[in-house]
């Protein structure tokens, strides 16, 4: 059946809803890297004003792991004294728990703690031009402070944790755009295994070690 053609001959524009998408390229490989204690960047992407860049990272010690997502804001936002980041965070938390009694959020000095219906806990906040979401980690003066237990490395739980984490992450990005009365960026963030970064870091360490040995040998000969 052919679509109906308007009398004026002009086809109306179709409104396409733009969304920010996040997907894991290979969940099995990402989990394998975490299990092996490899850490680093899972993915990053530059977006449109008011967001400058988004980044997702992972830290692992082969027994537990932590997830981190940062949303870096553009300078146009940082220059505004009246920017209400706390209002955005509270709105995200309220909408996330709405009509779901198994979800809740708790306001605390460090930010907002969100408890999901799957039993996962995340910390959401804003500091110095960055919105952040993580698994309960705060930077202390000398070391990181784990506000609640790090995630257990478990394959069955991994997909659920990532689904909850990325759901809240996307909600934050959507609310930031909406608060500015702007259309959401239609970009896509693809998360990949940090394995290559880990290998690169090991190679760099080996290069530094070899260079140090060459220096010592050269010094002794000279």
Mean pLDDT per 10-residue section of the chain, whose length is 222 residues: 56 58 94 95 94 96 97 87 88 94 89 95 93 92 90 96 97 94 84 69 50 47 51
The structure tokens listed for 181 are 């009365």
User: How many other C-beta atoms can be found within 10 angstroms of the C-beta atom of residue 9?
Assistant: 6
Per-residue confidence (pLDDT) for residue 8, from 0 to 100: 59
State how beta strands 111-115 and 121-127 pair.
antiparallel
**C-alpha separations of 31 from 57, 79, 185, 202, 214 in Å:** 13, 40, 28, 20, 38
Name the residue ranges covered by the structural domains of the chain. 21-193
Using an 8 Å Cβ cutoff, are 193 and 29 in contact? yes
Using an 8 Å Cβ cutoff, are 67 and 151 in contact? yes
Break the chain down into helix, strand, coil percent, rounded to 5. Answer: 35, 30, 35
* pTM (predicted TM-score): 0.80
The structure tokens listed for 96 are 């996330």
Number of alpha carbons in the 13 Å side-chain half-sphere of residue 4? 2
Per-residue confidence (pLDDT) for residue 68, from 0 to 100: 97
Question: From CA 29, how far away is CA 58, in angstroms rounded?
Answer: 13
Per-residue confidence (pLDDT) for residue 196, from 0 to 100: 53
Per-residue confidence (pLDDT) for residue 108, from 0 to 100: 84
Using an 8 Å Cβ cutoff, are 44 and 146 in contact? no
Distance, CA of 205 to chain centre: 27
DSSP one-letter string for 88-142: HHHHHHHHHHTT-TT-EEEEETTEEEEE-TTS-EEEEEEETTEEEEESSEEE-SS
């Amino acid at each position: 059946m052919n679509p109906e053609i308007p009398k004026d001959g002009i086809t109306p524009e179709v409104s396409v809803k733009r969304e920010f998408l996040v997907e894991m390229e290979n969940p099995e490989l990402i989990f394998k890297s975490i299990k092996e204690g490899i850490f680093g960047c899972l993915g990053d992407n530059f977006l449109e004003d008011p967001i400058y860049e988004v980044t997702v990272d992972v830290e692992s010690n082969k027994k537990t792991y932590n997830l981190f997502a940062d949303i870096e804001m553009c300078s146009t936002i940082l220059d505004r004294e009246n920017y209400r980041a706390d209002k955005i965070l509270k709105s995200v938390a309220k909408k996330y728990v709405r009509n779901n009694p198994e979800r809740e959020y708790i306001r605390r000095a460090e930010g907002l703690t969100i408890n999901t219906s799957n039993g996962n806990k995340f910390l959401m906040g804003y500091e110095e031009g960055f919105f952040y979401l993580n698994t309960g980690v705060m930077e202390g003066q000398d070391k990181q402070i784990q506000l609640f237990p790090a995630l257990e490395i478990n394959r069955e739980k991994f997909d659920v944790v990532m689904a909850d984490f990325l759901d809240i992450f996307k909600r934050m990005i959507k609310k930031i755009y909406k608060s500015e009365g702007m259309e959401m960026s239609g970009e896509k963030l693809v998360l990949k295994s940090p394995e290559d970064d880990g290998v690169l870091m090991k190679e760099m360490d080996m290069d530094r070690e070899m260079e140090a040995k060459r220096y010592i040998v050269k010094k002794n000969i000279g």
